[in-house]
A and B are shown apart, each in its own frame.
Chain A
Amino acid sequence: EAGVTQFPSHSVIEKGQTVTLRCDPISGHDNLYWYRRVMGKEIKFLLHFVKESKQDESGMPNNRFLAERTGGTYSTLKVQPAELEDSGVYFCASSQGDHRSDEQYFGPGTRLTVT
């Protein structure tokens, strides 16, 4: 069974540009999470989808970030316009159930570099 996949693996953009990250969760997983790790610091929660609904988006940094999950399958995270401090590794995770004991499976991440 395929794991969580993320595209692209690496993106380099200039400040002010737009970037869209994509996450494909494990098939059948209703729960999808976005996280970010900046400059070797802690991994920070961004938001949690249950199917196509945003369950918790309390970690989204500001309104330059827009996450969608149309149809409850794959998800996109758009950053518009990108700023230097948005650089980091963006991880997506998925889980079958929404109990915290349901393991969250992480993708390999997208490394975003804003120059």
Chain B
Amino acid sequence: DQQVKQNSPSLSVQEGRISILNCDYTNSMFDYFLWYKKYPAEGPTFLISISSIKDKNEDGRFTVFLNKSAKHLSLHIVPSQPGDSAVYFCAASDGGYNFNKFYFGSGTKLNVKP
């Protein structure tokens, strides 16, 4: 059963506007969350992370928001640029023995139109 879900397979945004990618999780033991970006024919690359002790983490144009009560996180990209066009995966892990075991979502393909 998939514990991390990205229900929007794709998203199209105009350059300069905000992109909001969403992710839901079911496991209440998850306490560390990450976003990865993937270009075609390449492996995923780490983008930003957040611990459950925070509700927001910001890195330049990228901000991740965590709503623990709703088991929901989102990635905001402001302003969006054509180079941001990629597949974005959210991932999560719990603090147990297997804390390096990341559970990924199925990805959201972002298209930023010039």
Residues of A at the B interface (CB closer than 8 Å) are 4, 31, 33, 35, 40-45, 48, 55-56, 58-59, 91, 93, 98, 100-101, 103-109
Residues of B at the A interface (CB closer than 8 Å) are 2, 4, 32, 36, 41-46, 49, 89, 91, 93, 97-107
Instruction: Find B99's partner among A44, A58, A93, A100 (CB 8 Å cutoff).
Output: A100
Once A40-B106, A42-B104, A44-B104 are accepted as A-B contacts, the answer to whether A106 and B45 lie under 8 Å apart by CB is: yes
* Inter-chain residue pair count (beta carbon < 8 A): 61
* Known A42-B104, A56-B101, A109-B43; further 8 A-B contacts with Cβ < 8 A: A4-B43, A42-B107, A43-B89, A59-B101, A100-B93, A104-B46, A104-B102, A105-B43
C-alpha gap A35/B89 in the complex (Å): 13
Contact between B43 and A101 (Cβ–Cβ < 8 Å)? no
